[in-house]
Each structure stands twice: as C-alpha cells, then as structure tokens.
Amino acid sequence: MSLVVYLGALVFGMSSVLLLRRPRTAVRNPLTLSTCVAIALGALVFVCAAPATLAAVNDLTGIPNFGAPLTYGMLSAYSCAVLVLLINWRGGPRERVRRMVLRSIAAYGGLVAAIVVLFALAEADTERLTDLDTYYANTPFMREMILLYLVGHSAAMLVMCVVCVKWGREVTGLLRTGLRLILCGALLDVLGFQLAKYTAVVARWSGHDLDFLSTTLAPPMASLAALLCAAGFVLPRLLPPALAQWRGLGDYRRLDPLWSLVKSVSTAPKPSVAWWQLPQDRLQWREVSIHDALLTLAPYFDHRVRERVRDTALSAGRSPHEARLAAEAAMLTDAARRAAAREEPPETAGTYRLHATEVSGTGGLVELAQALHRQPAAAPPTAAGPTTEPEEPHVA
C-alpha cells in the first residue's frame, strides 16, 4: 500500500515541478506559485499518509500515532492551499484577493493548531497505521480531532465545487475543461473519500463496524480525486505551451530541406545544443541561421531561373503563390550550387526579396522548405536565356 501511495505522490508532485520549471518567474506569479504549493502539499499528504511514513514518524518521535496530527495538519494545509489557489485563479482587485487569502490562511491555521492541541489532550497509546479514524472514533479529544479535520476538508471541497459550477458557466475552452476536471475530483473526494470516512466513523459511534469504508475504499478514492484536481489545475497552464513546443518541433523538422541546402553558407554562431533544449529554442536558432544564409546567397540569385520556373508552374495551372514558391525554391537551389562551386554571381543578379523574408514568423520559411522538398530530384535549372522579358526585380 505504501508503494502505491508513494507512486501517487510522485505523479502528483511532478506536475508541480513542471509548473515551477522557471522558479524566478513562478515566484513572482501568485497564480503559478499557489498552484505549485497546492499540488506540492497534496503530494506531501500522500507521503505522510503512507503506513511506512506513519510508522517511521512514530518511531522517530517516540510518540504513538504522532503521524496522525501530522497527516491531518498537512491535509488541512492542502485544503487551505486549494482555496488560496481558487482565489488567485478567480482574480479581482489586489486588496480583495489579499484579504481573502489571509482569511483562509488564518482559518486553516487555527484548524491545524486545534488538531495539534486535541491530539495532545487525547490518550492514544496504541499505534494504528491504517484504521486510526475508526479505532479512536469514540475516544475523547481524538474523536473531536478526527471530526475537525474531516469538516475542514469538506468545507474546502464543497467551496471548490460551488466555485467550479458557477465559474464554469462564464468561461470556455481549456479553462472550462480544467474546471470540469477539478469539479469531478472534488465530487469524488466528497462522495468517495469523505462520505466513506463519515459513514465509518458514525457507524462506530452507533456500535457498528464499517471500517472497510475508511481503510479500503477511502484511500484510492482520495488518490484518484487528487489526481483529477491536479490535472484540472495544471491542464490550462501547461497544455498551451506544450502544444506550442510540439508545433515548434514540427516546424523545426519541416525546415530540414531548407536547412540542408543553406547550412554550409550560414555564418550565424552556433550555440551549444543540449538534449534538453526546448524545441522552440532550437527552432529560433535555426530560423536565425537560415535568414543569415539567405542574405549570403542573395547575390547569387538568378532571376532568369526564377522567371522560367514561375512561368512553367503557372502554365501547369498552379496558383500564383505556389508558382512563386516553386520559382524561389529553384532559384535558391541554383544560388546554393553557385556558391558551393565558388562561381561568380550571375549577370542577372539583383536585389530580390523572398516571400519567406516578407512574412513574420516561421511560416514563410516552412513553405519555402516544403517547396524545396517537392522539387524534382534532377539538377536545378541552368541560367539559360529567358523566354520572356525579365520583370523588374523587387526592391528590398
């Protein structure tokens, strides 16, 4: 059981690490910071609740069941962090947000203090690692401590449900999806974990034994609920940049034909590329290097090649844009060949601005790279005389 709980804590905590990949930026962002704190505390709750951890804490302190107030206090801190996260996520005037955050911290700080005091007053000399809630359900002060931590956690989850339902009507897209996941997690926590705990404890009060609800059903329900809540908090924050990195990786690969053609003439300084470097960082360097190479090859542009390929493409029924890309790809291939052979620039060379340099972003370069990829494998056209009058080159 402890291994399963530790694995849950690891998965739960990894999302916090992903959000905190840039600590300096995250610390200045209350939303990111509160998200990381809430998820990290949730992971710590898992760690503290594991029987192996409880036994180690009890042995280390020499106090039977000392792990109980530690776990319950950590769970209360997690409940508070969830409320703080919701407050920061909802936003509003800074003073109002700050006031609500301080009130939440004060309320749950008092709850944690009460848990510690009640445990100190109780007589709980028999160590219980898995069934403490039901075993001490009728013990003075322990009974109140158990009920207090359950009520505090229930309050936070119910508030979360209300906020998710209300706010879910006002937002769309990933934020709504995240809120629905959080709502599912909160409902599963209320119905699967808390209701099972309440039922088992109340059954003990009435002389019945439904301990399996507390020891067998509640723990996995709590784990699943926490993971759903973590996914809901993290999804709207991580999915957009993750998709951007995925698109960056795709563009980086689609630029391969163009980069293979011009990399020998690029003079851009090559940075140290590590395996963990993000795709968008790699893409940015490749884009800069390609633009540098295009400037180097510009004197070798032969407009007769471009015009002939353009006219041929138009005659074949291709659109003006497709014809221009095919013509520029052929002209660039010819220029790269001339530069590699150290030939003199052609007589028709002039200032010409490629479509890829007219548009912002990587889209133009990707289109040029794909036009190069679609070129026939045959050698590039030579600078034979044009069949029509050459048009006036575009001025940069």
Per-residue pLDDT at 390: 41
H/E segment holding residue 212: helix 211-212
Per-residue pLDDT at 24: 58
Concatenated DSSP letters for 298-358?
GGG--HHHHHHHHHHHHHTT--HHHHHHHHHHHHHHHHHHHHHTTPPPPTT------HHHH
Per-residue pLDDT at 359: 84
Q: How far is CA 81 from CA 75, 104, 125, 181, 385, in A?
A: 10, 9, 32, 18, 75
Cα 20 to Cα 256: distance, rounded to the nearest angstrom: 33
Per-residue pLDDT at 110: 95
Q: Answer whether 85's CB lies under 8 Å from 101's CB.
A: no
Q: Does domain 2-242 have CATH number 1.20.1070?
A: yes
Length of the chain: 396
- The domain limits of the chain are 2-242, 255-396
Q: Which pLDDT tens digit goes with each residue over 306-328?
A: 999 999 999 999 999 999 999 99
Cα 248 to Cα 250: distance, rounded to the nearest angstrom: 5
Kindly report the number of other CB atoms within 10 A of residue 101's CB atom. 18
Q: Answer whether 318's CB lies under 8 Å from 358's CB.
A: no
Both tokens of residue 285?
A: 């360097």
- Could you tell me which of 377, 373, 375, 379 has the C-alpha nearest to residue 255? 373
Concatenated DSSP letters for 216-249?
IIHHHHHHHHHHHHHHHHHHHHHHHHHHHHHHHH
| CA terminus-to-terminus distance, the chain | 69
Cα 311 to Cα 264: distance, rounded to the nearest angstrom: 30
Per-residue pLDDT at 311: 93
- Residue 373: CA count within 13 A, CB half-sphere: 13
Cα 136 to Cα 134: distance, rounded to the nearest angstrom: 5
Q: Answer whether 115's CB lies under 8 Å from 76's CB.
A: yes
User: Which ranges in 62-194 belong to alpha helices (H)?
Assistant: 67-90, 94-121, 132-135, 142-168, 173-188
What is the chain's pLDDT, residue by residue, as a tens digit (396 residues)? 556 567 667 766 666 666 665 555 555 678 778 888 888 888 888 888 888 899 999 999 999 999 999 999 999 999 999 899 888 887 788 899 999 999 999 999 999 999 999 999 999 899 998 899 999 999 999 999 999 999 999 999 999 899 889 888 888 888 899 899 999 999 999 999 999 999 999 999 999 999 999 998 998 888 888 888 888 887 887 788 888 889 999 999 999 999 999 988 877 667 665 555 788 888 888 999 999 999 889 888 988 889 999 999 999 999 999 999 999 999 999 999 988 888 888 876 566 888 888 888 888 999 999 999 887 754 444 444 443 444 444 433
Both tokens of residue 370?
A: 């794909």
